[in-house]
Amino acid sequence: MLFGKPAWEIDGLEAEVDFRTLENINTLGKELQGRLHWVSAIGKEFLKRGWDAYGTLYDIDFYKSVPIETAKKELKELGLDSEMVGLEEEKFDPEEE
C-alpha cells in the first residue's frame, strides 16, 4: 500500500486529538517518506525490466506477461521475497483471442 486513509494510518485520529496523536502524525510522515521513496525506487526497476504499471486508489499494480517462476526470479533479483507481494498468475485462454 502506498498510503491509506488517515484514520487507518494514524492511531488515535478519530478521537480527541492530543500530543500523542500529533506525535503519531509526525511519525507517519517519516514512515510515508521512506515508504514512498522505496516504492518509487522499486517501481523504476520494474519499469526498466519491462513491467507495466497501473495506479489504483491505494496501490500501484505491476504486470508482466511471463511465467510465474520468471516473475519470482526477477523479484528475487530485486531483493524482494515473492511472499512480500501479491503475485498472481493469470490463466490464458487462447480461444478468447
Give the 3-state DSSP-derived string for the chain, with helices as H, strands as E and coil as C.
Answer: CCCCCHHHHCCCCCCCCCHHHHHHHHHHHHHHHHHHHHHHHHHHHHHHCCCEEEECCCCEEEECCCCHHHHHHHHHHCCCCCCCCCCCCCCCCHHHC
- pTM (two decimals): 0.79
Cα separation, 71 vs 66, whole angstroms: 7
pLDDT single digits (tens) 20-69: 999 999 999 999 999 999 999 999 999 999 999 999 998 899 999 998 89
Q: Band the pLDDT of 81: cuts 50, 70, 90.
A: confident
Sorted by where each begins, the domain ranges of the chain are 6-96
Give the Cα separation of 88 and 7 in Å (integer). 29
C-alpha Rg value of the chain to the nearest Å: 18
Mean of the pLDDT values across residues 13-25?
94
Query: Rounded to an integer, what is the distance from CA 90 to the centroid of its chain?
Result: 19
